[in-house]
Amino acid sequence: MTVATGCPMERSAAQAYAWLILWMEQEYGWDRWRAYDVLTHVGTLSVGYYAFGTVAAKIAKRYLSRP
């Protein structure tokens, strides 16, 4: 899970997903575009506080095995 805060909220969502993709690359050896593709299908977003644009991007551990 990665968390980003800022306005607008859409920018925070994009930043949280970008950080999650980078983490998947570094820690699990994922290809950037493959990680992006997987997140579009199984990734989730949680909105903490809409006014501040706090967003958490998540992926379940079962999807993190090395591709």
**How many domains are contained in the chain?**
1
pLDDT at 18 over 90: yes
Instruction: Say whether pLDDT at 50 is over 70.
Output: no
Domain ranges, residue 38: 2-63
Residues 6+ apart with CB under 8 A from 32: 21, 25
CA gap 9, 47 in Å, rounded: 9
Q: What is the mean pLDDT of residues 23-42?
A: 94
Q: What is the mean pLDDT of the chain?
A: 90
